[in-house]
Amino acid sequence: MTLLYEGKAKRIFSTEVEDVLRVEYKDEVTAGNGAKKDYIEGKGRLNNQITSHIFNYLKENGVKSHFIEQISETEQLVESVKIIPLEVVVRNIAAGSITKRLGFDKGHVFDEPLVEFFYKNDDLNDPLITDDHIKLLHLASETEIQELKASALAVNQQLLNLMTDMELRLVDFKIEFGLTKDGQILLADEISPDTCRIWDAHSDTNFDKDVYREDTGSIIEVYQTFLNKLEAHK
């Protein structure tokens, strides 16, 4: 089958079925828009399994996504969509870029979840953009922007329920949405420790890509521990 796209963490292939894509998760990890980059054996398997588990959980709880099924350790089938070039970030607790941009202390708990949009454009370094910028760039209409925000908050609520049950704190995460052939907005891409910040509720331990960004541990050990927790969760 044809390789349609190779990104930093995944390869996307066509399949013999129209509008169905095969996603292969790679053993590669990057940070800072590719500034830091490593091959880490086993990482693709972990993110494929974690993302599959989370998309299944969301489906059981009424949140639709592009996810169809996991077909191997490193591969899954998804519905093809036209990705809206926005990284939709939801934050419950301050960490990462918002601490530098607005001066919040790391760990500050927001009064309510915050939704931010970043323009998915590597050449521009994925800048934060406003609703008006989104309309100016014709990335989404006002109605679509409101739908993206509501959907992102719905995903957040479900993930918060899951993480709280697992005695974890969901700090923030990034999701992407795409348009189906009939113009519906659908949750797409991945939800994994590469795209979330997840802290232990009772200690300083974290289960996310910050261990790689900050060189504080083994990504394989940390992601495997998170997957074990997910699989143990009823």
Sign, CA dihedral 134-135-138-139, equals: positive
What part of residues 208-227 is at the interface with ligand ADP (CB under 6 A)?
none
Size of the residue set binding ligand ADP (CB under 6 A): 17
Q: What is the dihedral of CA 119, 21, 11, 135, to 10 degrees?
A: -10
Beta carbon of residue 192, minimum distance to ligand ADP (angstroms, whole number): 10
Residue 66: name its binding partner from ligand ADP, ligand UDP, none (Cβ under 5 to 8 Å by kind).
ligand ADP
- Contact, 153 vs 145, CB < 8 A? no
Query: Which does residue 83 touch among ligand ADP, ligand UDP, none (CB within 5 to 8 A, set by kind)?
Result: ligand ADP
Q: Residue with CB nearest ligand UDP?
A: 96
Q: Give alpha helix (H) positions in the chain.
A: 43-60, 97-102, 131-136, 142-165, 210-213, 219-232
Stretch that binds ligand ADP, among 9-17, 104-112, 138-146, 166-174 (CB under 6 A): 9-17
Q: Establish if 89 lies at the interface with ligand ADP (CB under 6 A).
A: no
Residue 116 structure tokens: 């931010």
What single-letter amino acid sits at 50?
I
Which residues are at the interface with ligand ADP (CB under 6 A)?
5, 7-10, 12, 21, 66, 78-81, 83, 176, 178, 188-189
